[in-house]
């Protein structure tokens, strides 16, 4: 017997990954009737069982109808974590190792992406103006910039055809509030 961790047979049905009770029995080297019994006797809520274990029958090679369960990832995990023996132990260790690797990857990404932006009213206003530019375009961003009372309209917010134009704070406010412009 090898120590290689072989993954159980999984399939995709209606866009969801599922495992069949017969494949689970084969993977864990258990009698299928024992896996069926374990599924029926799980100590989980009725709702969890209903959502994660779907019973069905198929005809075996002799033509006799046999019971099976199709289970979701959550159902499979719940069931497999209750199994004992060397194969189950190796599966649990591999599952934990994969979980830890995923957790470490998330931490690594969070550390790389961590950019702390202190909250200030101006920083919040700049975020709103950026969103306005992405959503409604540069003209809306210019107008919002002025309405929020930010001191200067950056050239990057101006439409390309008006790139040579410069706006002062007073002119922008006046234009947005329909006030007379200061000379």
Average pLDDT in the 19-45 region?
Answer: 93
Check if the beta carbon of residue 65 is closer than 8 Å to that of residue 57: yes
Per the model's pLDDT, the better-predicted residue between 63 and 47 turns out to be 47
pLDDT > 90 fraction of the chain, expressed in percent and rounded: 26
- 């992406």: which residue's tokens? 113
Per the model's pLDDT, the better-predicted residue between 3 and 73 turns out to be 73
The 10s digit of each residue's pLDDT in 125-171 is 777 777 777 777 777 777 776 777 766 544 444 444 443 333 334 44
Domain positions in the chain: 1-87, 121-177
């Amino acid at each position: 017997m090898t120590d290689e961790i072989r993954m159980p047979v999984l399939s995709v049905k209606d866009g969801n990954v599922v495992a069949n009770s017969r494949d689970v029995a084969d993977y864990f080297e258990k009698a299928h009737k024992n896996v069926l019994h374990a599924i029926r006797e799980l100590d989980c809520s009725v709702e969890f069982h209903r959502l994660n274990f779907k019973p069905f029958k198929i005809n075996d090679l002799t033509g006799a109808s046999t019971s099976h369960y199709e289970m979701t990832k959550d159902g499979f995990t719940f069931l497999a974590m209750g199994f004992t023996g060397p194969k189950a132990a190796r599966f649990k260790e591999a599952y934990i190792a994969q979980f830890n690797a995923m957790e470490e990857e998330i931490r690594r990404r969070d550390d790389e992406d961590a950019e702390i932006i202190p909250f200030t009213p101006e920083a919040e206003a700049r975020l709103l103006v950026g969103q306005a530019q992405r959503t409604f375009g540069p003209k809306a961003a210019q107008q919002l910039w002025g309405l929020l009372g930010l001191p200067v309209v950056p050239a990057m917010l101006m439409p390309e055809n008006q790139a040579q134009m410069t706006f002062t704070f007073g002119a922008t406010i006046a234009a947005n509030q329909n006030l007379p412009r200061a000379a």
